Structure formats: structure tokens, C-alpha cells
Structure 1
Amino acid sequence: MSHDCLFCRIARGEIACHIVHEDENILAFLDIHPIRPGHTLVIPRAHYPWFEDLPEQLASQITTLSQRLAREMKTLYPVERVAMFYTGIHVNHAHAHIVPMHHRHDVTSAVYLEHGAEDFTLPPAPPRQELETVAAALRQRLAP
């Protein structure tokens, strides 16, 4: 793990997050600037800067959990689709976004750039209690 990496610090428990799932290899927690309620990040506990750096087995574990989350999100949020995508725009630690899609542009730049690139803003951060309620609902649905 990297000493200064934000997601490594979250994985070590140094920074609080709203955990949805955790095991020895991966951690899933809510994005604090969600595109939609339920927007979850899935990260490896070990530091890999980019998704292409992930060992194949670890990438498979992330995908398998993401598929489970997507199936539960479809029931919890009655949506037809759930997006999964890897990015590394803000944090250089491989991470997948799992997002219930209420609108076809939920995960496209059209939503964020409708007023031009200079006016880009992050989605608002919901109140802490709202995030915990969402995390609890997803944890319950993932429980064996």
C-alpha cells in the first residue's frame, strides 16, 4: 500500500467510509459524491495505480462483486441497468464505479458538461446519515 494514497488510507481504516463490502482483497464503499444513490466504489486493498495493473484474479474478484452489487441495486433502486466502469481521474488507485442508472446519461460527460467544461462541478455530497442508510441497505442485500 502507498503511504499517501487516499484509497490506501481508506483500505487501512485511517479514513472513515461507508462500507458496503469488505474482505481480505477488496473493499467496496459509497462514493461521497455519488452520481446516483448507491454509487459504490470497489477497490483492491493493495495499491495498483491503474486497472490494467491489476492481477487477473483480483480484477475478476472486483468484477464478481460488482455483478452481485448490480443485481442487488436493480432490485433496491428498480432500474433496468447498472453501470460498471474503471476510472482514475481523481485517485491513482485502481477503482471500479458501480452506478444504478436512472437515465441514459447518468454516466456520461453530458450530465457534467451541459454548461461547458469550465462549469464542471462534482455531484453534491449527501448528508452522512443518508450515505449510511444507503450503505446499510446494500450490505444487507449482499449478506449471505
Structure 2
Amino acid sequence: MASVFTRIMQGEIPGHFVHEDDQCVVIMTIQPMKPGHVLVIPREEIDHWDDLPADLTAHLMAVSKRVTRAIKRAFPCERVGLLIVGLEVPHVHIHLTPLDAMEDLRVLGLDMAPAEKLAAAAEKIRAALA
């Protein structure tokens, strides 16, 4: 069965895309730690990040670096944190989130963001990528 991320990539479930290429996508997460929180997801369904081929890992990191710079422009912050957790969806995904304090870094108990806020945040990051 396809993961929720594959279903988003295939258009079965709506998603707010920031970046797409032949190897990965970057989408807004529906439960952001802070505005500007995105997920970098390989198109290939791989459960554990340590099973990623080296070339795909390098590509995901390069995209993450480029998107991090855009997040910093779109959502001024002290840093952009990078997490690979992977327990909630069995499909590798990298969290990139703006951070100003350690308290900003949390993954449990997050509220669902309204679609219009996700769309606005995605547009800010896409503009910063341009």
C-alpha cells in the first residue's frame, strides 16, 4: 500500500508543494513546529534513512540545504533545524523547521495547520527559492 507521502505526490491527497524534481519533493507539513516547517521526501518509498542509496542521500541533502536558505529568507530565524525521525510514516522524510530557541523543537502534540496558512507559507518559500 502506498504511503501517505506517495499518495500526496500522486495527487490523491492535497499537498502544498515547495519543490519537485525527479528524485524528491518538498511539502509543507500539516503539523508544523513553526510556520515554514517543511518535509523533504524522496519519491522512492524507503522506510529507513540508512537504506537510502548514497546518491539519493546526497541529493536530499543538497535540496535540504537550498530549501533551508529559502526558509531563512522567508521566515527569518536563528537556525533551521533538520530532523530525520521516521516513526510516524514509514517513508523517509527530512523535517526542516525554523528555530529560534530549543523550545521550538518538538514533534508531539502539534496542532493541524489550516490549509490557507500552509498555502501562504509554501508561497513565501517558493518565492525565496526563485
What's the TM-score, normalizing by structure 2?
0.93
Identify the residue that residue 29 of structure 1 maps to in structure 2.
Answer: 27
Identify the residue that residue 42 of structure 2 maps to in structure 1.
Answer: 44
Structure with larger RCO (C-alpha < 8 A, sep 6+): 2
Moved segments of 4+, more than 2 Å: none
Identify the residue that residue 107 of structure 1 maps to in structure 2.
Answer: 105
The Cα of 1:74 is off from its aligned counterpart by 1.7
**What runs of 5+ residues in structure 1 fail to find an aligned partner?**
113-120
One-letter identity of the residue aligned with 2:96: I
Identity over aligned residues, as a percent? 35
Write out per-residue CA displacement over residues 12-59 of structure 1, whole angstroms, 9 at most, x where no aligned residue.
222110000001110000000000001000000011011111111111
User: 3-state SS of the aligned residue for 2:102?
Assistant: coil
One-letter identity of the residue aligned with 1:124: D
Task: Please tell me whether residue 124 in structure 1 is matched to residue 111 in structure 2.
Answer: yes
Task: Please tell me whether residue 77 in structure 1 is matched to residue 75 in structure 2.
Answer: yes
The Cα of 1:75 is off from its aligned counterpart by 2.1
Two-structure CA RMSD over aligned residues (Å): 1.4
One-letter identity of the residue aligned with 1:137: K
User: Do the aligned residues in 1 keep the contact of 2:73 with 2:128 (CA within 8 Å)?
Assistant: no
Distance (Å, rounded) in 2 between the aligned partners of 1:96 and 1:57: 16
Identify the residue that residue 117 of structure 1 maps to in structure 2.
Answer: none
User: 3-state SS of the aligned residue for 2:40?
Assistant: strand
Distance (Å, rounded) in 2 between the aligned partners of 1:73 and 1:10: 22
Specify which of 117, 122, 135 is matched with residue 122 of structure 2.
Answer: 135
Q: Highest Rg: 1 or 2?
A: 1
Distance (Å, rounded) in 2 between the aligned partners of 1:32 and 1:102: 20
Distance (Å, rounded) in 1 between the aligned partners of 2:125 and 2:56: 22
